[in-house]
Amino acid sequence: MRRHTKVKALLAAFSLLLLTANMAQAAGVTLSWTAPVKRVDNTDLLPGNIAGYNIYYGDVTGYYQQEVNIPIASLADPLKPAYTITGLITCQVYYLVLTTFDVEGRESSYSPEITTAALDTPVVSPPQPSGTDGLQISWTNVAPLDPSALQNYAVYYDTESGEPYQGTGATQGGSPINVASDSTSLQLTGLGLGNTYVVVDAICPDGTTSRSEEVSGVVGTVIADPDSGISQPDSGLSQPDTGILQPDTGINPLPDAGIPDSGVESRQSNSTLSGGCAIAATPSMLPLALLLALALLLRRR
């Protein structure tokens, strides 16, 4: 462990570094800084002369219980150095400084101290439709070991993508909606049809905030669940035959009398047969009427 007030620049030191911190995805913080280009005597410090960096940090200002050694070869981009410290306590405030060491083993003095709280970034799942006017929103727990370390979550929503997420109309209230630290879901109802855009903030007691990526869901969309196990009921009805059957009239058809086509149009007409018997002939009665008329004529002969 090292105390900032006791560090002496016994060796040739490098110029101070600009150190910044951001929230990390794995219970920690990500540090980034600018690589020094000058020594304190103003001589050039070539990139090939830098062997690596040391990060010192602790939970008391000026007193750094932990040290992380970072060889230059382990950096993804030595010209834009960055490093993530993981395994930290959620919402615990940490104090950090950085030094540079060269290929000859000489180490610089500390950079200015920075302060930050360790906090994961919530990961929000795509919102699922709920009913005709709602969305079910869920996210990862950023404090699984001790939810009480977190102050709360804040759910922001809007019908437009991007800041400032000032949505209104939800039954649960306008944006943002505060959610207890031990909860990782929220059902929004009373929303209008269409797209709703959502982000979730995790908030520490000291005000440190980590915001999720934006996600969106469509209100009013019904998603079929292929695993629901629900099948369409069997109605027991077969498809009807497209051939239409005439209803049974109970009348047996007359045998074929061999009478040629009468040429009579298929319409209702009145025919008077010999003997004064008037018959109203319909299209269905025409063959029978013609047959009777022919029979009477033959008898008169």
List, as one string, the DSSP characters of 132-178.
Answer: TTEEEEEB--S-SS-GGGS-EEEEEEESSSSTT------TT-SSPEE
Instruction: Give pLDDT, residue 225.
Output: 52
Q: Is 237 a residue whose pLDDT tops 90? A: no
Segment 225-251 shows an average pLDDT of 48
Q: Is 266 a residue whose pLDDT tops 70? A: no
Q: Is 205 a residue whose pLDDT tops 90? A: yes
Segment 253-274 shows an average pLDDT of 41
> Exposed, middle or buried, 170 (CB in 10 Å: 0-12/13-18/19+)?
buried
Q: Are residues 195 and 138 located together in one domain of the fold? A: yes
257 is a domain residue: no
Q: Are residues 163 and 210 located together in one domain of the fold? A: yes
90 is a domain residue: yes
Segment 152-167 shows an average pLDDT of 97
Provide, rounded to the nearest whole percent, the portion of the chain with pLDDT above 70.
67
CA atoms 162, 181, 120, 61: torsion sign? positive
206: domain CATH number?
A: 2.60.40.10
284 falls in which pLDDT band (50, 70, 90)? Answer: low
Q: Are residues 137 and 109 located together in one domain of the fold? A: no
AA identity, residue 297: L
Poorest-pLDDT segment among 8-12, 182-186, 191-195, 292-296? 8-12
For 275, the domain range is: 269-300
How far is Cα of residue 35 from the mean position of the Cα atoms in its chain?
39
Mean pLDDT of the chain: 77
| Structure tokens given for 57 | 């940090």
Count: domains in the chain: 3
- Residue 161 Cα distances to 157, 170, 178, 194, angstroms: 9, 17, 20, 12
Q: Which of 52, 86, 117 is the last residue of a domain?
A: 117
State which H helix or E strand residue 279 sits in. strand 277-281
9 falls in which pLDDT band (50, 70, 90)? Answer: very low
| Structure tokens given for 215 | 């996600």
CA atoms 212, 218, 222, 227: torsion sign? negative
Half-sphere exposure of 197 (CA within 13 A, CB side): 12
134 falls in which pLDDT band (50, 70, 90)? Answer: very high
Q: Of 187, 89, 198, whose CA–CA distance to 144 is shortest?
A: 89
Q: Which of 219, 248, 280 is the last residue of a domain?
A: 219
258 is a domain residue: no
Q: Of 1, 41, 39, 43, whose CA–CA distance to 17 is shortest?
A: 39
Provide, rounded to the nearest whole percent, the portion of the chain with pLDDT above 90.
52
Q: Is 118 a residue whose pLDDT tops 60? A: yes
